């Protein structure tokens, strides 16, 4: 009788161990603290004509922002966007001409290298001497 109890007990322990071993492992999602930031910048470079800027803010899972730039044809392109949770990136693009816009003229600077006189080396005359290839050894 005691042998039956030992066998049943061993089988029970084996079943419990197998259930624990073969259970799928659940990965917990990493949890980070609250996220909050804001930033913005504007660039206006008269030398290159580069005009663009951006602003963005985020609080937890919600992000919203806008960026703009001046296209080469004189249109201002503005993109407003937002992300809300797992909705993905949603953007709207607006394009409008800028009245009186003139693209910056590219200035081509040519820097001339100094001119050096090259003196030609004297030419030596080479005299051709007939060679007799018919040697008899």
**Which residue from 122, 70, 119 is spatially nearest to 99, judged by alpha carbons?**
70
The DSSP bridge partners found for residue 67 are 54, 79
Question: What is the per-residue pLDDT across 32-41, written as a single tens digit (0 to 9) for each?
Answer: 778 899 999 9
Give pLDDT tens digits for 7-18.
545 555 555 555
Distance CA 91, CA 95 (A): 13
Model pLDDT for residues 51-105, shown as the tens digit of each residue: 999 999 999 989 999 999 998 888 999 999 999 888 889 999 999 998 887 766 6
pTM assigned to the model: 0.51
């Amino acid at each position: 009788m005691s042998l039956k109890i030992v066998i049943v007990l061993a089988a029970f322990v084996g079943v419990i161990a197998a259930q624990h071993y073969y259970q799928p492992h659940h990965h917990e999602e990493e949890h980070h603290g609250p996220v909050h930031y804001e930033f913005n910048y504007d660039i206006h470079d008269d030398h290159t004509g580069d005009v663009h800027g951006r602003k963005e803010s985020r609080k937890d899972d919600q992000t919203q922002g806008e960026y703009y730039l001046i296209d080469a044809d004189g249109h201002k392109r503005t993109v407003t966007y937002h992300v809300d949770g797992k909705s993905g990136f949603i953007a709207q693009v607006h394009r409008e001409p800028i009245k009186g816009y003139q693209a910056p003229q590219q200035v081509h600077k040519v820097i001339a290298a100094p001119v050096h006189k090259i003196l030609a080396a004297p030419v030596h005359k080479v005299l051709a001497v007939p060679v007799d290839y018919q040697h008899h050894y």
